[in-house]
Amino acid sequence: MARLIQLTILFIQFYYYYYITTTAHGLSSNGTTFLLDSSRSAMILPLFLSPPNPCTKFSSTRRLLQRSNGNNALPNARMRLHDDLLINGYYTTRLWIGTPPQRFALIVDTGSSVTYVPCSSCEQCGRHQDPKFQPDLSSTYQSVKCNIDCNCDDEKQQCVYERQYAEMSTSSGVLGEDIISFGNLSALAPQRAVFGCENMETGDLYSQHADGIMGLGRGDLSIVDHLVDKGVINDSFSLCYGGMGIGGGAMVLGGISPPSNMVFSQSDPVRSPYYNIDLKEIHVAGKPLPLNPTVFDGKHGTILDSGTTYAYLPEAAFVSFKDAIMKELHSLKPIRGPDPNYNDICFSGAGSDISQLSSSFPAVEMVFGNGQKLLLSPENYLFRHSKVHGAYCLGIFQNGKDPTTLLGGIVVRNTLVLYDRENSKIGFWKTNCSELWERLHVDGAPPPAPSSSNGNNSNTEMPPSMAPGDQKHYGLPDEKKIGKITFEMMLNVNYSDLKLHISELAESIAQELGINISQVYILNSMEKGNASYIEWAVVPSGSADCISNVTALSIIARVAEYHMHLPDTFGSYHLINWEIKASAKRTWWQQHFLLVVLASAVTFIFGLLAFGIWFIWRHRQRALNPYKPVDAVVTEQELQPL
């Protein structure tokens, strides 16, 4: 009997805990309206999560029960970031969906709660980086059938989603489920997950180069929530954006060990559906702004949004911040901004060396409620002027009349941001994001990306089924040296337009592949209907007689896996074929040509020098012993004994 009473008490405790925790989680996933200043199109933040579409079939009410297991050994998905803030206005990562995998470049957005890609059935989708997702070509795709827990289409057949963003762009479509892969750097195996198959997009979503959005926010459709609910990762993720002159970066889905000197701020999931921090003060040049701390707590508080380019402060905070910055700029000259449509605050005379900006611009600190401070270097509140060399503009603006403080990607350049959702806090650690893995000393982490002359990250990402070491997959020769790699592809652009920019194509290809422009040759181009056919080749650099297998693999994989991002001028590309040609065996003369030429040049120079010395010596000798005629009077010389 006593045993039965104990079991009954345990059951009541379990039920009470389950009810409380699931109710608390429900508060954090409600959709809200978030009105922001939409004057800058680079902002990507949910404006309406309407109609409310929690689709609780994928409920995350199990998460708090799973947290108690203390399992810190779960794998994570380590993924590279591409693009940058100034040119693109966003950062993207790569996801592969379906079987076989179809690749997509998605904007990482902590302000969105759904991941979606253009669907093959979409007639109102723009032309993006990669082909649309084709459900019919995936053997593992399943549509999410209409049920009482989701919004359904007019035919009551499928679940649907709809999103609207601050700059008034929209996305809508149906929900599907398929295998999602995270790339060859990931220790996390491919997982089944729900995503949006887009059937309509408007505004910036229609015109952007990226394919879609990777929703990292809180919500039942969030890819983070979905992976946590399945118990395959810890309830955490991290983002690390590259610096002003670098771009790219890294991200981690799942937990990592925070560095010892990481700065933390509390993040209350009940305060807002977005990721917020407890900001209390801003210091400029060591002096606090004369503001009431409650100015940063208006409406949704202080929000971190990775999909927003710049930072936006409430009116009082912006005016105070701007005035404090301008008081510290003694040697710089105010100039007009790069875009006449905006009243940007810009200054010239700082020089082009980003590492020296701190000598011209003051340091800024954000002070959190726990007293910890996050130091912001000039690259965390400035953007480079696109028309004046050595000029910079404030990347922090007034958020209209909205009292919300919005911190976009510019604030966290070269900063590892740890979204520790399990412990309701967000950590910040200043670091070089291009060397993140090395600096974190993560076991099994990939090595830092090698730097190139143009700052682009040339490392290759592939789905797990295409590991970098699988050279035979790409037909690389095991013994022969690689002398040339030729590619045939179709460009989704009219040939008459291509001809106007054909000279720029080789430069764009070289930049994307991280090689020298002298290594890329355009061999042939012609018109193919409304598209263009092009054949081009990569040859060894400089005096090298071959391309290394590692370099060849990186080049081929980058092109074959559609990681090469050509400018919009050339449209998207479709690879037809590539061919590897072994380097021809060179004759003795070809192998030693440069050596012979060099030796001949040296011999000629030394010979010329010797002749010059002899000529000068001979001339001087004639000057010392001038010629005398036969009848000339000479001084009688003393005879010497024989």
Which residues are CB-neighbours of 513 under 8 A, at least 6 positions away?
A: 458, 520, 538, 554, 555, 558, 559, 564
Structure tokens at 538: 């990569």
Quote the mean pLDDT of the chain: 79
Percentage with pLDDT > 90 across the chain: 44
Which residues are CB-neighbours of 428 under 8 A, at least 6 positions away?
A: 262, 263, 264, 265, 374, 412, 415, 416, 417, 418
**If you ran DSSP here, which 8-state letter would residue 124 be given?**
B
pLDDT of residue 624: 58
pLDDT of residue 573: 82
Write the pLDDT tens digit of every residue in 331-342: 899 999 998 888
pLDDT at 190 > cutoff 50: yes
pLDDT of residue 572: 77
pLDDT of residue 70: 41
- Mean pLDDT for the stretch of residues 205-227: 93
Query: Quick one: how far is CA 334 from the chain centroid?
Result: 31
Structure tokens at 163: 């999103």
Write the pLDDT tens digit of every residue in 589-629: 656 677 788 888 888 888 888 888 888 877 776 665 554 55
**Bond from prior residue into 362 cis (ω within 30 degrees of 0):** no
398: left (phi over 0), alpha (psi -120 to 50) or beta: beta
Catalytic residue, chosen from 109, 211, 220, 235, is: 109
Write the pLDDT tens digit of every residue in 269-317: 999 889 999 999 999 999 999 999 999 999 999 999 988 889 999 999 9
pLDDT at 200 > cutoff 90: yes
pLDDT of residue 586: 59
pLDDT at 466 > cutoff 60: no
pLDDT at 642 > cutoff 50: no
Which span out of 90-99, 146-155, 583-592 was modeled with the highest average pLDDT? 90-99
Distance separating alpha carbons of residues 246 and 389, to the nearest angstrom: 17
Distance separating alpha carbons of residues 427 and 421, to the nearest angstrom: 11
Reported for 472-479, long-range contacts at CB under 8 A and 24+ positions apart, including other chains, are 474/552, 474/553, 474/556, 474/557, 474/560, 475/580, 476/549, 476/552, 476/553, 476/556, 476/580, 477/580, 477/582
- Mean pLDDT for the stretch of residues 170-179: 95
Catalytic residue, chosen from 83, 84, 278, 305, is: 305
Active site residue 136: no
Selected residue with higher pLDDT from 434 and 367: 367
**If you ran DSSP here, which 8-state letter would residue 641 be given?**
P
Of the candidates 429, 448, 428, 430, which has an alpha carbon nearest to the alpha carbon of residue 438? Answer: 448
Selected residue with higher pLDDT from 47 and 121: 121
Q: pTM of the predicted model, to two decimals? A: 0.65
3-state secondary structure of 32: coil
Write the pLDDT tens digit of every residue in 570-584: 877 878 888 888 776
pLDDT at 195 > cutoff 90: yes
Write the pLDDT tens digit of every residue in 387-427: 898 999 999 999 989 999 999 999 999 999 999 999 999 99
Active site residue 154: no
Selected residue with higher pLDDT from 8 and 16: 8
Structure tokens at 314: 């409430």
pLDDT at 42 > cutoff 70: no
pLDDT of residue 31: 32
Q: What letters, b where the CB count within 10 A reaches 16 and e where it falls short, cover 408-442?
A: bbbbbbbbbbbbbbeeebbbbbbbebbebbebbee
Length of the chain: 642
Write the pLDDT tens digit of every residue in 337-383: 998 888 899 999 998 888 889 999 999 999 999 999 999 999 999 99
Selected residue with higher pLDDT from 484 and 440: 484
**If you ran DSSP here, which 8-state letter would residue 119 be given?**
B
